[in-house]
Chain A
Amino acid sequence: MNQLKLSTANLVILIAGAVMLIASFLDFTKAKATVTFGDITIHVSTGGGNAWSSGRFLVATIPALLGIVMAAHVAVDAFASGVKPPEKVLGLDWNQIHLVLGLQATIMMLAFLIQSTSPLDKGIGLFLMLLAAIALLVAAVLRMQEPASGSAPPVV
Protein backbone atom coordinates (compact mmCIF):
# COMPACT_ATOMS: atom_id res chain seq x y z
CA MET A 1 0.00 0.00 0.00
CA ASN A 2 1.30 3.44 -0.84
CA GLN A 3 1.88 5.52 2.25
CA LEU A 4 1.06 9.18 1.72
CA LYS A 5 3.96 11.44 2.58
CA LEU A 6 2.38 14.51 4.12
CA SER A 7 4.27 16.35 6.83
CA THR A 8 2.43 18.60 9.29
CA ALA A 9 3.41 21.69 7.30
CA ASN A 10 2.17 20.22 4.02
CA LEU A 11 -1.08 19.08 5.64
CA VAL A 12 -1.68 22.59 6.99
CA ILE A 13 -1.00 24.06 3.53
CA LEU A 14 -3.49 21.65 1.92
CA ILE A 15 -6.21 22.45 4.45
CA ALA A 16 -5.54 26.20 4.51
CA GLY A 17 -5.52 26.32 0.72
CA ALA A 18 -8.93 24.62 0.61
CA VAL A 19 -10.30 26.95 3.33
CA MET A 20 -8.92 29.93 1.39
CA LEU A 21 -10.70 28.81 -1.79
CA ILE A 22 -14.03 28.21 -0.04
CA ALA A 23 -13.78 31.46 1.97
CA SER A 24 -13.14 33.44 -1.21
CA PHE A 25 -16.74 32.64 -2.22
CA LEU A 26 -18.18 33.84 1.10
CA ASP A 27 -19.07 37.45 1.90
CA PHE A 28 -15.99 39.68 1.81
CA THR A 29 -18.10 42.56 3.10
CA LYS A 30 -21.67 42.73 4.31
CA ALA A 31 -24.20 45.51 4.20
CA LYS A 32 -26.14 46.60 7.26
CA ALA A 33 -29.70 47.80 7.13
CA THR A 34 -32.17 48.80 9.81
CA VAL A 35 -35.86 48.29 9.14
CA THR A 36 -38.47 49.76 11.45
CA PHE A 37 -42.10 48.59 11.68
CA GLY A 38 -43.82 50.81 14.19
CA ASP A 39 -42.12 50.03 17.52
CA ILE A 40 -40.18 47.10 16.12
CA THR A 41 -36.66 47.66 14.76
CA ILE A 42 -34.97 44.89 12.83
CA HIS A 43 -31.27 44.91 11.98
CA VAL A 44 -30.64 43.13 8.70
CA SER A 45 -27.30 42.01 7.30
CA THR A 46 -26.98 41.27 3.61
CA GLY A 47 -24.06 40.09 1.53
CA GLY A 48 -21.79 42.71 0.02
CA GLY A 49 -20.08 40.44 -2.49
CA ASN A 50 -17.18 38.00 -2.30
CA ALA A 51 -13.55 38.11 -3.40
CA TRP A 52 -14.59 37.23 -6.96
CA SER A 53 -17.18 40.00 -7.26
CA SER A 54 -16.85 42.83 -9.73
CA GLY A 55 -14.82 45.62 -8.19
CA ARG A 56 -12.77 43.14 -6.13
CA PHE A 57 -11.62 40.64 -8.75
CA LEU A 58 -8.62 40.40 -9.24
CA VAL A 59 -6.99 42.25 -6.35
CA ALA A 60 -8.98 40.55 -3.57
CA THR A 61 -8.73 37.19 -5.35
CA ILE A 62 -4.91 37.14 -5.40
CA PRO A 63 -4.52 35.73 -1.83
CA ALA A 64 -6.91 32.89 -2.72
CA LEU A 65 -4.98 32.15 -5.90
CA LEU A 66 -1.70 32.10 -3.96
CA GLY A 67 -3.20 29.63 -1.47
CA ILE A 68 -4.45 27.45 -4.32
CA VAL A 69 -0.98 27.41 -5.93
CA MET A 70 0.62 26.39 -2.62
CA ALA A 71 -1.94 23.64 -1.98
CA ALA A 72 -1.75 22.42 -5.58
CA HIS A 73 2.03 22.08 -5.36
CA VAL A 74 1.76 20.07 -2.15
CA ALA A 75 -0.99 17.89 -3.62
CA VAL A 76 0.94 17.20 -6.82
CA ASP A 77 4.11 16.47 -4.88
CA ALA A 78 2.33 14.06 -2.54
CA PHE A 79 -0.30 12.37 -4.68
CA ALA A 80 0.74 12.60 -8.33
CA SER A 81 3.61 10.13 -8.45
CA GLY A 82 4.03 10.58 -12.20
CA VAL A 83 4.43 14.34 -11.98
CA LYS A 84 7.67 15.84 -10.73
CA PRO A 85 7.68 19.63 -10.32
CA PRO A 86 11.02 21.32 -11.13
CA GLU A 87 13.41 21.54 -8.18
CA LYS A 88 13.69 25.32 -8.55
CA VAL A 89 11.68 28.08 -10.22
CA LEU A 90 13.56 31.28 -11.10
CA GLY A 91 16.34 30.22 -8.76
CA LEU A 92 14.01 29.75 -5.78
CA ASP A 93 13.44 26.32 -4.26
CA TRP A 94 9.91 25.32 -3.27
CA ASN A 95 10.38 26.09 0.42
CA GLN A 96 11.32 29.66 -0.53
CA ILE A 97 8.40 29.90 -2.97
CA HIS A 98 5.95 28.74 -0.28
CA LEU A 99 7.38 31.35 2.12
CA VAL A 100 7.07 34.16 -0.45
CA LEU A 101 3.50 33.19 -1.42
CA GLY A 102 2.39 32.70 2.20
CA LEU A 103 3.90 36.03 3.25
CA GLN A 104 2.31 37.86 0.32
CA ALA A 105 -1.12 36.33 1.03
CA THR A 106 -0.85 37.34 4.70
CA ILE A 107 0.33 40.89 3.93
CA MET A 108 -2.56 41.39 1.49
CA MET A 109 -5.17 39.99 3.87
CA LEU A 110 -3.86 42.15 6.73
CA ALA A 111 -4.12 45.12 4.37
CA PHE A 112 -7.76 44.21 3.62
CA LEU A 113 -8.39 43.88 7.36
CA ILE A 114 -7.00 47.36 8.05
CA GLN A 115 -8.66 48.95 5.01
CA SER A 116 -11.80 50.92 5.76
CA THR A 117 -14.91 49.35 4.21
CA SER A 118 -17.34 51.87 5.73
CA PRO A 119 -20.33 51.92 5.50
CA LEU A 120 -20.07 48.15 4.91
CA ASP A 121 -18.91 45.69 7.57
CA LYS A 122 -16.19 43.15 6.95
CA GLY A 123 -17.62 39.72 6.13
CA ILE A 124 -16.88 36.18 7.25
CA GLY A 125 -15.08 35.46 3.98
CA LEU A 126 -12.47 38.14 4.68
CA PHE A 127 -11.82 36.87 8.21
CA LEU A 128 -11.56 33.23 7.09
CA MET A 129 -9.22 34.20 4.24
CA LEU A 130 -7.04 36.08 6.75
CA LEU A 131 -6.88 33.07 9.08
CA ALA A 132 -6.09 30.76 6.15
CA ALA A 133 -3.35 33.13 4.94
CA ILE A 134 -1.74 33.18 8.39
CA ALA A 135 -1.92 29.37 8.47
CA LEU A 136 -0.24 29.23 5.05
CA LEU A 137 2.57 31.51 6.28
CA VAL A 138 3.10 29.51 9.48
CA ALA A 139 3.13 26.26 7.49
CA ALA A 140 5.62 27.73 5.02
CA VAL A 141 7.94 28.64 7.90
CA LEU A 142 7.53 25.15 9.37
CA ARG A 143 8.26 23.67 5.94
CA MET A 144 11.62 25.46 5.84
CA GLN A 145 12.59 23.91 9.16
CA GLU A 146 11.63 20.39 8.13
CA PRO A 147 14.17 17.94 6.73
CA ALA A 148 14.38 17.68 2.95
CA SER A 149 11.08 17.02 1.15
CA GLY A 150 9.98 13.44 1.37
CA SER A 151 11.93 12.60 4.50
CA ALA A 152 9.73 14.57 6.93
CA PRO A 153 7.79 12.33 9.30
CA PRO A 154 4.43 11.68 7.62
CA VAL A 155 1.32 12.42 9.66
CA VAL A 156 -1.10 11.14 7.03
Chain B
Amino acid sequence: MADRHSLTPGEIVIMAAGGAMLVFSFLHFYGDRSAWGSHLFPIATLLPIYGVVMALQIALTKFGGVELPGSVVGFTWEQVQLAIGAMAGLMAIGWLLTDTGDKQIGQWFEILGGIALLVGAVLLQRERNTGAIG
Protein backbone atom coordinates (compact mmCIF):
# COMPACT_ATOMS: atom_id res chain seq x y z
CA MET B 1 0.00 0.00 0.00
CA ALA B 2 1.36 3.39 -0.87
CA ASP B 3 2.29 5.53 2.10
CA ARG B 4 -0.10 8.45 2.16
CA HIS B 5 2.79 10.66 3.26
CA SER B 6 4.96 9.65 0.28
CA LEU B 7 5.41 12.42 -2.25
CA THR B 8 4.96 12.05 -5.99
CA PRO B 9 7.53 13.63 -8.36
CA GLY B 10 5.13 16.51 -9.11
CA GLU B 11 4.63 17.22 -5.42
CA ILE B 12 8.40 17.05 -4.77
CA VAL B 13 9.07 19.51 -7.59
CA ILE B 14 6.46 21.97 -6.27
CA MET B 15 7.65 21.73 -2.65
CA ALA B 16 11.32 22.00 -3.59
CA ALA B 17 10.66 24.92 -5.92
CA GLY B 18 8.49 26.71 -3.34
CA GLY B 19 11.12 26.28 -0.62
CA ALA B 20 13.99 27.35 -2.86
CA MET B 21 12.06 30.38 -4.11
CA LEU B 22 11.35 31.52 -0.56
CA VAL B 23 15.01 31.20 0.46
CA PHE B 24 16.40 32.82 -2.68
CA SER B 25 13.87 35.64 -2.50
CA PHE B 26 16.03 37.06 0.28
CA LEU B 27 19.18 37.03 -1.88
CA HIS B 28 20.06 39.68 -4.45
CA PHE B 29 17.43 39.97 -7.19
CA TYR B 30 18.63 43.13 -8.88
CA GLY B 31 21.69 45.11 -7.83
CA ASP B 32 21.97 44.71 -4.08
CA ARG B 33 18.23 44.44 -3.53
CA SER B 34 16.26 41.29 -2.76
CA ALA B 35 12.77 40.58 -4.09
CA TRP B 36 11.50 42.11 -0.83
CA GLY B 37 13.54 45.29 -1.28
CA SER B 38 12.39 48.79 -2.16
CA HIS B 39 11.39 49.30 -5.82
CA LEU B 40 10.96 45.53 -6.27
CA PHE B 41 8.37 44.69 -3.60
CA PRO B 42 5.75 43.40 -4.26
CA ILE B 43 5.98 42.83 -8.02
CA ALA B 44 9.13 40.69 -7.74
CA THR B 45 7.79 39.09 -4.56
CA LEU B 46 4.77 37.57 -6.31
CA LEU B 47 6.80 34.65 -7.67
CA PRO B 48 8.06 33.39 -4.27
CA ILE B 49 4.60 33.99 -2.78
CA TYR B 50 3.01 31.83 -5.49
CA GLY B 51 5.64 29.15 -4.83
CA VAL B 52 5.00 29.18 -1.08
CA VAL B 53 1.22 28.98 -1.58
CA MET B 54 1.55 25.96 -3.90
CA ALA B 55 4.07 24.22 -1.62
CA LEU B 56 2.00 24.94 1.48
CA GLN B 57 -1.11 23.38 -0.05
CA ILE B 58 0.84 20.16 -0.72
CA ALA B 59 2.56 20.18 2.69
CA LEU B 60 -0.63 20.83 4.67
CA THR B 61 -2.59 18.07 2.98
CA LYS B 62 0.27 15.53 2.91
CA PHE B 63 1.91 16.08 6.28
CA GLY B 64 -0.32 18.41 8.26
CA GLY B 65 -3.39 16.22 8.13
CA VAL B 66 -5.38 19.26 7.06
CA GLU B 67 -8.65 18.49 5.29
CA LEU B 68 -9.15 21.25 2.74
CA PRO B 69 -12.53 21.72 1.04
CA GLY B 70 -12.86 19.72 -2.17
CA SER B 71 -12.95 22.79 -4.37
CA VAL B 72 -12.41 26.55 -4.24
CA VAL B 73 -14.81 28.77 -6.23
CA GLY B 74 -15.42 25.93 -8.65
CA PHE B 75 -11.75 24.96 -9.00
CA THR B 76 -10.43 21.59 -7.81
CA TRP B 77 -7.10 21.83 -5.97
CA GLU B 78 -5.33 20.33 -9.00
CA GLN B 79 -6.81 23.13 -11.12
CA VAL B 80 -5.73 25.71 -8.53
CA GLN B 81 -2.19 24.29 -8.67
CA LEU B 82 -2.24 24.37 -12.49
CA ALA B 83 -3.59 27.94 -12.62
CA ILE B 84 -1.07 29.31 -10.12
CA GLY B 85 1.73 27.27 -11.73
CA ALA B 86 0.85 28.63 -15.18
CA MET B 87 0.81 32.23 -13.91
CA ALA B 88 4.12 31.65 -12.09
CA GLY B 89 5.62 30.26 -15.32
CA LEU B 90 4.33 33.28 -17.23
CA MET B 91 5.86 35.71 -14.72
CA ALA B 92 9.11 33.74 -14.79
CA ILE B 93 9.29 34.18 -18.57
CA GLY B 94 8.37 37.82 -18.04
CA TRP B 95 11.33 38.39 -15.71
CA LEU B 96 13.60 36.35 -17.98
CA LEU B 97 12.84 38.64 -20.94
CA THR B 98 12.77 41.88 -18.96
CA ASP B 99 15.95 43.89 -19.24
CA THR B 100 16.86 44.35 -15.58
CA GLY B 101 20.56 44.72 -16.27
CA ASP B 102 22.69 42.05 -14.61
CA LYS B 103 20.37 39.42 -13.21
CA GLN B 104 21.50 38.34 -9.76
CA ILE B 105 21.34 34.88 -8.21
CA GLY B 106 18.01 35.61 -6.54
CA GLN B 107 16.35 36.54 -9.83
CA TRP B 108 17.73 33.48 -11.61
CA PHE B 109 16.35 31.19 -8.92
CA GLU B 110 12.95 32.92 -9.02
CA ILE B 111 12.86 32.39 -12.80
CA LEU B 112 13.89 28.73 -12.51
CA GLY B 113 11.50 28.22 -9.61
CA GLY B 114 8.58 29.72 -11.54
CA ILE B 115 9.18 27.38 -14.45
CA ALA B 116 9.59 24.45 -12.02
CA LEU B 117 6.21 25.30 -10.45
CA LEU B 118 4.58 25.04 -13.87
CA VAL B 119 6.33 21.73 -14.58
CA GLY B 120 5.33 20.41 -11.15
CA ALA B 121 1.70 21.44 -11.65
CA VAL B 122 1.63 19.67 -15.04
CA LEU B 123 3.16 16.53 -13.50
CA LEU B 124 0.51 16.69 -10.78
CA GLN B 125 -2.26 16.55 -13.41
CA ARG B 126 -0.80 13.35 -14.84
CA GLU B 127 -0.17 11.74 -11.44
CA ARG B 128 -3.68 12.41 -10.22
CA ASN B 129 -5.27 11.52 -13.58
CA THR B 130 -7.22 14.75 -13.83
CA GLY B 131 -7.46 14.43 -17.60
CA ALA B 132 -6.23 18.00 -18.02
CA ILE B 133 -3.00 16.92 -19.71
CA GLY B 134 -2.82 14.12 -22.24
How would residues 89 to 119 of chain B score, 1 for a CB under 8 Å from any chain A CB and 0 otherwise? 0110111011110000000000000000000
Q: Which residues of chain B are near A61, meaning CB under 8 Å? A: 94
A58 contacts chain B at the CB level, 8 A cutoff: yes
Given A58-B97, A90-B82, A116-B46 contact (CB < 8 Å): no
- Contact A115 B39, beta carbon cutoff 8 Å: yes
How would residues 27 to 53 of chain B score, 1 for a CB under 8 Å from any chain A CB and 0 otherwise? 000000000001111110110000000
How many angstroms from the CA of A62 to the CA of B98 in the assembled complex?
11
**Smallest beta-carbon distance A39→chain B, Å:** 36
How many angstroms from the CA of A62 to the CA of B94 in the assembled complex?
7
A114 contacts chain B at the CB level, 8 A cutoff: yes
Tell me which of B38, B86, B98 contacts A59 (CB under 8 A): B98
- Contact A62 B90, beta carbon cutoff 8 Å: yes
Interface residues in A120-156 (C-beta closer than 8 Å to B): 144
Tell me which of A115, A117, A144 contacts B42 (CB under 8 A): A115
Tell me which of B46, B93, B98, B133 contacts A56 (CB under 8 A): B98
**A: which residues have CB within 8 A of B?**
54-59, 61-62, 90-92, 96, 99-100, 104, 107-108, 111-112, 114-118, 144
- For this complex, 17 residue pairs linking A to B, each with C-beta atoms less than 8 Å apart, are A56-B98, A57-B97, A57-B98, A58-B94, A59-B98, A90-B132, A91-B79, A91-B131, A96-B75, A96-B83, A100-B86, A104-B87, A108-B43, A111-B43, A115-B40, A115-B41, A115-B43
Q: A58-B97, A90-B86, A91-B130 are in contact. List 12 more A-B contacts (CB 8 A).
A: A55-B100, A57-B99, A59-B94, A62-B91, A62-B94, A91-B78, A91-B125, A92-B79, A96-B83, A115-B42, A115-B43, A116-B41
